[in-house]
Amino acid sequence: MSTSRIAYAVIGGTGLYQLPGLENIERVSVDTPYGKPSGEVVCGDFHGRRFAFLARHGENHSVAPHRVNYRANVHALHQLGAGAVIGVNAVGGIRDDMGPRVLVIPDQIIDYTHGRLSSFCDVEGAEVQHVDFTEPYTSALREALREGASRAGVTVVDGGCYGATQGPRLETRAEIARMRRDGCDLVGMTGMPEAVLARELELPYACLALVANWAAGCGDAVEISLEEIFAHLDAATAHVPKILATLP
């Protein structure tokens, strides 16, 4: 593999299984102390910098949210020397200004998941870390994404609370109503433990959330259509390379 420093690693969610525009590609199989990641890490040149890309669910979308080996994914990017990690996540919109096709850079998260291996401390003999998670996303990386979107002419919503649920099923109307009362603006299935694992490794991390649908009971939809979800995701995903191309 090239010894060039990887400036950014991108973890692609539903609908983003490769990074368009990546050149001089090398596919790297990484073994980690926590097992295999979701697939090979694809490294290449992207607008003058070295990028790495990993499909969170596998390139064929074969790994469900609750079965993702988040520890292996994050540690693999750390092993490759990534300078920062950007998680691209498909989400449902709860807040009125976060409807389908909107891009959001959240600043907070609430974790509703259960049973996931959520720390590198979860191995015998490991030193227990009590990391500060007051601000779950790295402010400088969030700012870079905001400025990048502005330069690319892409509208994004700055800030918002991501509620991470277990999946793979979608949520009930009552669950979304509860999450709204809790202060959640978005709902997704993969935001945690990815964010906290990056924090344990002192890896700068931010989320670029793509709204694929209104969450249950929000907006005008009576029922959530998977066909509409993927149409909205396709439209939102098209903006991601534009933003990444302008990062410093």
Query: Could you tell me the CATH number of the domain that includes residue 78?
Result: 3.40.50.1580
From first to last of its 248 residues, the chain has per-residue pLDDT tens of: 444 799 999 999 988 999 999 999 999 999 999 999 999 999 999 999 999 999 999 998 999 999 999 999 999 999 999 999 999 999 999 999 999 999 999 999 999 999 999 999 987 777 888 999 999 999 999 999 999 999 999 999 999 999 999 999 999 999 999 999 999 999 999 999 999 999 999 999 999 999 999 999 998 866 777 888 899 999 999 999 999 999 98
**Domain span at residue 63?**
6-244
User: Is 59 part of any domain?
Assistant: yes
User: Is 213 part of any domain?
Assistant: yes
* Confidence (pTM): 0.94
- Ligand-binding site membership of 134 (annotated): no
User: Is 192 part of any domain?
Assistant: yes
Residue pair 180/161 in contact (Cβ under 8 Å)? The answer is no
User: Is 89 part of any domain?
Assistant: yes
- Ligand-binding site membership of 190 (annotated): yes
User: Is 1 part of any domain?
Assistant: no
- Ligand-binding site membership of 66 (annotated): no
User: Is 11 part of any domain?
Assistant: yes
- Ligand-binding site membership of 213 (annotated): yes
- Ligand-binding site membership of 47 (annotated): no
**What's the structural domain count of the chain?**
1
User: Is 132 part of any domain?
Assistant: yes
User: What does the DSSP assignment read for 22-91?
Assistant: -EEEEEE---BTTB--SS-EEEEEETTEEEEEEETTTTTT-S-GGG--HHHHHHHHHHTT-S-EEEEEEE
Tokens of 201: 């490794």
- Ligand-binding site membership of 57 (annotated): yes
